[in-house]
Amino acid sequence: MRHETKMPGADDAQAIEPDGLNLGFWFPRPERGARLAEELTRRGHRVTIYHSLPVPWDQDRVRRVDYGPLVGLRVLRGLDHDVFFTSRSFVPVVQLRLNKWLTGRPYVYTLNGAIWSYYSERSLPVALSAAKSMFYGALLRLAVGGADAVVANSHFLAQALREVVPRHARKVTTVYNGIDYDGIEAGRRVPKEWLPGQKRVLSVVTLHFEGKSMGVRLLLDAFEKIGRRVSDATYLIAAKSENPAAVDDLRRYLRQHPLADRIRLDVNRRDVPDLLATADLFLYASPPDSSDSLPRALLEAQAAGVPTVTTDTTGCGEAVLNQQTGLVVEYDADAVATAGVELLEARENALRMAEAGKKAVRDRFCWAAMADAYEEIFVRAAAGAGARAVRAHR
């Protein structure tokens, strides 16, 4: 798919940008930004990625930029991309907002989580949490207000964002992210990573904020009920975390668990595809007030063909289609346990849904579809900037 963008005010015969857009990716998520850039380049667009971290892409098209607010702004003012794009938090997007004030360059802002919930997830003093929520709420309105388009990675997040910034609701759209299916399919069975048992239950979670521990605690409560009904079930929790306090808190909770001898908690493992290739059941629970949007772990579990149970909170029910690709239940330990036992015991039905999930995620969450959607958004943003330039010139 390739666009020829015609700016408002031009003659019908004069289509401009025949060689595609000149796009600047400003501190995107490194791996995801690189894959999107690769797809857009195939469509004839020119993409340069600016980042302070390593980016796994053509290094001739990657520029190292310090993360500092003022340094970055000075760099931005010297760039002439048709459209900028960022999917990071507030420093990069506020830089793009200030740059738009100074240069008029349009930008697209992508959110991958409910960032206004971050501070409710942390164990902070009430006054400090409230102050930070107000401050970051103001930054969110500033960033969204200047963006030419705002992209959410789930319909759940898009609707929540429209409610948080109703004045800018028309800017918000949903684009599903792609998934690295090759990496998932490369997984190899590693039964030795579980404690002894024939039914291997897995959860892959993040514990960056202490509030995320609540969802894992609910899963631990659910496994107690599962384990009492399925005597040969063992549970492995693979947690990604840079927050030792959250991990320590969860370990203390685990030590008091009635089935602690059948549960293993590992932190920052790099062999998640192998774990998925071995699991018989995948469990995930997202607290209703979590910053989760559309948990990637659920997409990866389905891509690996693991029977999956999740809760009907945040965007979980958007990732897993209830009774089609897995089971989606209320945010309740009993409900999760009942669904988990069902999928462990009724294997034919469980594997049927797992196979459907394996196909569905590839259809719904692919890089090509993601690039198609972003291409249209970038073209509209560039055209809008051209229209503003024409009006200003007149």
pLDDT tens, residue by residue, 198-237: 999 999 999 877 667 899 999 999 999 999 999 999 999 9
How far apart are the C-alpha atoms of 346 and 281, rounded to whole Å?
Answer: 12
302 has pLDDT over 90: yes
Look at residue 12 and tell me whether its pLDDT is greater than 80: no
Residue 388 CA to residue 361 CA, distance in Å, equals 39
Which of 12-21, 34-43, 365-374 is predicted least confidently?
Answer: 12-21
Q: Based on the number of CB atoms within 10 Å of its own CB, is 320 exposed (0-12), middle (13-18) or buried (19 or more)?
A: buried
pLDDT of residue 291: 85
What are residue 220's phi and psi, to 5 degrees?
-65, -40
For the beta carbon of residue 219, count every other beta carbon within 10 angstroms: 23
DSSP string of 323-347? TTTBEEE-S-HHHHHHHHHHHHH-H
pLDDT higher for 114 or 201? Answer: 201
| Lowest mean per-residue pLDDT among 115-119, 274-278, 289-293 | 115-119
Which tokens sit at 181?
Answer: 């299916």
In angstroms, the CA 50 to CA 54 distance is 10
Does residue 5 surpass a pLDDT of 50? Answer: no
Examine the pLDDT at 311 and tell me if it is beyond 90.
Answer: yes
pLDDT for the residue 17? 47
Q: What is the DSSP string of 150-184?
A: EEESSHHHHHHHHHHSGGGGGGEEE-PPP--HHHH
Quickly state the pLDDT bin for 69 (edges 50, 70, 90): confident
CATH 3.40.50.2000 is right for the domain spanning 22-178+366-393: yes
CA distance 21 to 31: 21
Determine the number of helices (DSSP H) and then strands (DSSP E) in the chain.
15, 13
For the chain, the C-alpha Rg in angstroms (whole number) is: 23
CATH architecture designation of domain 181-364 = 3-Layer(aba) Sandwich (3.40)
Report the chain's mean pLDDT, rounded to a whole number: 89
Establish whether domains 22-178+366-393 and 181-364 are of one fold: yes
Q: Is the pLDDT of residue 58 over 80?
A: yes
Indicate if the pLDDT at residue 2 is higher than 70: no
| Residue 289: φ, ψ to 5° | -100, 20
Q: What is the residue extent of each domain of the chain?
A: 22-178+366-393, 181-364
Q: Give the residue-averaged pLDDT of 107-119.
A: 83
Unique residue bearing structure tokens 């609707």: 159
Q: In the chain, pLDDT over 90 holds for what percent of residues?
A: 78
Contact residues for 324 (Cβ-Cβ < 8 A; gap 6+): 353, 356, 357, 360
What pLDDT shows up at residue 7?
34
Q: Quick one: tokens of 374?
A: 């972003």
Cα dist from 62 to 20, 43, 49, 51, 123, whole Å: 19, 19, 5, 8, 37
